[in-house]
Chains A and B, each alone.
Chain A
Amino acid sequence: MAFSALPRPDMPAPQPVEATKVSSLPPTGRQTEPSLRESRGETGDQVFKAAMVLCGLTVLATLVLIVYELTLRSGPSWHAFGFKFFAGHDWDPVNEHFGALPFVYGTLVSSLLALLIAVPLSIGVAVFTTEMCPKALRGPLSFFVELLAAIPSVVYGLWAIFVLVPILSNYVQPFLARTLGWTGFFDGPPYGISMLAAGIILAIMIIPIISSITREVLMVVPQHQREAALALGATRWEMIRIGVLRNARAGIMGGIILGLGRALGETMAVTMVIGNRPEIAKSLFAPGYTMASVLANEFSEATGDVYLSALIEIGLALFLVTIVVNALARLLVWTVTRGQPSRANA
């Protein structure tokens, strides 16, 4: 199970029970020792503890440094444009006029599209693995789904360019245009490279996150909830709907938001298929641009302080949004898997 414990942003904090004993245990429990050894041990202890505290501080310092650098270096752009930066349509490096709205729009639409596709699929997979499939199939199934999380983003992008995009432009887009073209979301030339392609590849990438969290949350739903539903004559699906899914709602929501956090910051695969054009179009067949992709494409070529600082401001915005989204998600998952308030009729 090489990938069963892939790093997820929500790794639960371990129970604090045992460690309280560690720290309360006095280091001076060895009175009979020769004083020389004892003092050496104590100095060693202090040095060692200091080193470990330093490592902990490094983690904190890294985050502080990220915030500091992003804030400091986005200053020029902030002074030049203020809040209008996120309301402006123009992205014009030549005249040094920058508005980030098309990128914000692209990030939001591609991520929401990804959620729309990924959420039902992930919940379906999680329900199947925890409630329906034979025990023997459970391990391999979750292994395969989590294998999806191990594929590098750039490989997804490669596959999307050469497999997904041709399928979209040859089959899916003409079909959607014929059937749903009248809504306005699906018209325009079927080039394949589009917001739709970005949404689909993002969906494939966030499915493992959402489904593994959902699975975890479903597994902590108490067994008696299922038994009670079955005892009342519920069919298996009714049992899942009433006894399981309803109880796990908050946690599933947490998983979905974590998936959203990942989708918002995802860079390479999206950059490779979204078309990279800073425009706001209603049709999902039109190319778009996201905050992460504009950074990937333009950062190393940015000339001029304002240009660079405008890009860093986009990075800062992306950073803040993902932090809020992740904190929210962790809180939701935590309420379900840790404290177990009865939420039977919530």
Chain B
Amino acid sequence: MASVSFRGVEKAYGPVKVIHSIGFDIADGEFTVLVGPSGCGKSTLLRMLAGLEEISGGTIAIDDSVVNDVESKDRDIAMVFQSYALYPHMTVAENMGFSLRLRKADAALTARRVAEAAKILNLGPYLERFPRELSGGQRQRVAMGRAIVRDPKVFLFDEPLSNLDAKLRVAMRAEIKALHQRLKTTTVYVTHDQVEAMTMADKIVVMHDGRIEQIGSPLELYDRPANLFVAQFIGSPAMNVIQGTLRREAGAAWVEAAGGLRWPLAPEGPGRDGQAVAYGVRPEHLALGGGAEAVAAEVIVVEPTGAETELLVRAGDVQVVVVMHGRTNEKPGQAIRLEVDRSAVHLFDADTGAAIRA
């Protein structure tokens, strides 16, 4: 168990900088998820922590000792790869015990540790099989078993669930989380899937173009996104964003979108009259209703998922997603009015994308 800290970490391939001075801390036992679109540098950052990529600038420390020049094998970390990277010529047991074998550990100790890990991961019946004889989910568990047997200071996961089908991914997500709750090993987990990030993380680091956009707990990011990028990246379906101009008049406030459509704001909220803004509202904060401030719209598509119904509607010249609990009788083409939960609206500066806060 260990803490990890990044201080001004940079990565450049020749003149091309892919990571720009990143700094943050991971507490002992914390489950941290690095999330962002592909190419944002999250995997590179993880690989730098693993010792698989050179660090061009800054320092990475594990337990307060800088590891920039320490070899992977001496960093006391374990990594689970997207492709599993199991040794094809070794059985499950040999795969899991390989790191101990390299350290010339006692055979009985190795066998015990492998058996323990196999028990945790329900791999007992498969110990003598080869990776090619296992299903995707079982291989993924072997890769995790290999990490567990090490009993490392830090677990690293590089998009471990990307090769699994949707159902298995959900199941493995829960398994990894349960595993962390049981072992309480400091974990750094990379994914492009914000749902994985939201469901698993203690702390999420949202990255974009080699920079950190925001760090926080899942619900902090969801409730108080620092900028438009985070707002649209976190949450599924994504937050609706409408460009417009903020208006204040006679104790009322709204954002006027193209075509004169008024999106209501709480009058006591931040922002000045005439400011160009992006108006953000999550799909579940919109409802059908007929209040005075309701916005006129037209239904385009109705998508029932059982417990919820997703409506794609057109309001003025923008398309907006509405999520409703239960079912609905609305039909495509029907005119409706949208009620906005004003307390849940986010405002962002139209130029910088930064959240406008009081």
Real binding pair: no
